[in-house]
Amino acid sequence: MSLDALRDLIPAYARDISLNLSSLANETTLTDQQKWGCFLACAHTLGVAPLVRHIEAQAATVLTPEAQGAARSAAAVMGMNNVYYRAIHLLKNPDYATLPARLRMNVIANPGVAKVDFELWCTAVSAINGCGACLDAHEAELRRHGLSAPQVQAALRIGAVVHAAGRIVASEAALAA
């Protein structure tokens, strides 16, 4: 299982998504850990079994077990935070923004990998989950760590393409069932 095997699951009508997966796999703006951590965190965010399996297999050739765990943790914690902070942002009543979240998110302070890599993965996941507040917070942190706009954009592109691939793979599985 690998990214090539994942691309084989994508039908001709979505050729652009397959080509984008390939080009993003060869992306050089990010380190391999940053890139494959983004792929992995995004795959776990979507939870589409074939997508997760193929990206896990490819990422395992590059990422340490600690980095793999941190990417999964980014998907997990942002799955919670994106819902909470998006809701706070969308509510018209400003009182909710003044209340402490009272949600455990210790992994953000000590993710087990470089903080900048974890923040990058959280940014890609936040893009998939559509949380503007989290996107702004993580992007600002990335800029403080010295990442450039093209590097942040690369993570966003990975999130967008993995999201599209997951939807396509899930749709094709539904048609085959």
How far is C-alpha 59 from the chain's CA centre? 13
| CA torsion through residues 66, 67, 71, 72, sign | negative
Say which of 38, 42, 122, 131 is annotated catalytic.
131
- Distance, in Å, from the CA atom of 124 to the CA atom of 40, rounded to the nearest integer, reads 10
Q: The tokens of 44 are what?
A: 């776990």
Choose the catalytic residue: 38, 42, 122, 134: 134
Q: Which of 69, 66, 15, 17 is nearest to 40 (CA)?
A: 69
Active site residue 38: no
Measure the CA angle with vertex 128, ends 149 and 88; round to 5°: 95
Distances (CA, A) of 15 to 4, 38, 63, 70: 13, 21, 27, 31
Q: What is the token pair recorded at 160?
A: 């967008």
Is residue 40 within 8 A of residue 95, CB to CB? The reply is: no
Task: Return the H-helix or E-strand segment holding 100.
Answer: none
Is 131 among the catalytic positions? yes
Give catalytic residue positions. Answer: 131, 134
